[in-house]
Amino acid sequence: MDFQGKTIVITGASSGIGAETARLMRLAGARVIGMDRNEPMLTLDGFVKADLSEQAAIDAAVKQLPERVDALCNIAGVPGTAPADLVARVNYLGLRHLCQRMLERLPAGGSIVNISSILGAEWPQRLDLHKALAETPHFEAGLAWLAKHPVAQASCYQYFKEALIVWSVTQSQTWFLERGVRMNCVAPGPVFTPILGDFVQMLGDERVQKDAHRMKRPAYADEVAPVVAFLCSDAARWVSGINLPVDGGLASTYV
């Protein structure tokens, strides 16, 4: 993959999948601008410190980004051990708002890649709810909808990953047809990142043990990053509106 002359914005660039994606794409020639609430621990071409749970903070961060961006990788996220309101804000509402704000800066041929999760696979069971949330036009409207349709703490991570998949898929074709901008999701299974322990705590020992025999091991972050990069590349110029599992075959064991 060749990213010479391309400018890429990566949220969550300070650790885990975000850091590995930033490293990979810089090696392929990209100019990488990181966004994170934590200072980066790797070389970047630019960095914007931002709290992605607040609309005003996202708007302020966008003002610091280049006028043209070739791809946006939304990799930042919080685990389900965080309060449900924060999970909603960071993993869904803030991500969506950033996409909406950055759309005008993406040229035809540009790409958005969102990190969903294998835990979002049950979205068809709540499709009507997820489509209703997807139809809310902006951050504050989404908060108002969620106030009327509260999400339980125990299932909030799964719920908002499902919601992200539905929004990404239903919105993608409109943006592709009207602007030539592609949007896709990457759905990892368990990954060795700083928040893996939070996911084990969130799922509970029984669920973890039940799934353990279904896979060889959790992924390494550098096994997910190339898939994110591929979806940003010109090689994926006709790929839009998909949710691509990167889980070592875990999802296949449920068929």
DSSP letters spanning 65-97: S-S--SEEEE-----TTS-HHHHHIIIIIIHHH
Do 45 and 110 touch, CB atoms closer than 8 A?
A: no
Which one of 157, 159, 220, 254 is the catalytic residue? 157
Q: Which residues pair with 143 in a beta bridge?
A: none
92 has catalytic annotation: no
Return the amino acid letter for 89. R
36-40: long-range contacts, CB 8 A cutoff, minimum separation 24? 36/11, 36/12, 36/76, 37/76, 38/14, 39/14, 40/13, 40/14
Contacts for 206 with CB less than 8 Å, ≥ 6 apart: none
Query: CB–CB of 229/207 below 8 Å?
Result: no
> Mutual orientation of helices 55-62 and 95-102 as an angle, nearest 10°?
30
Q: Which residues are catalytic?
A: 157
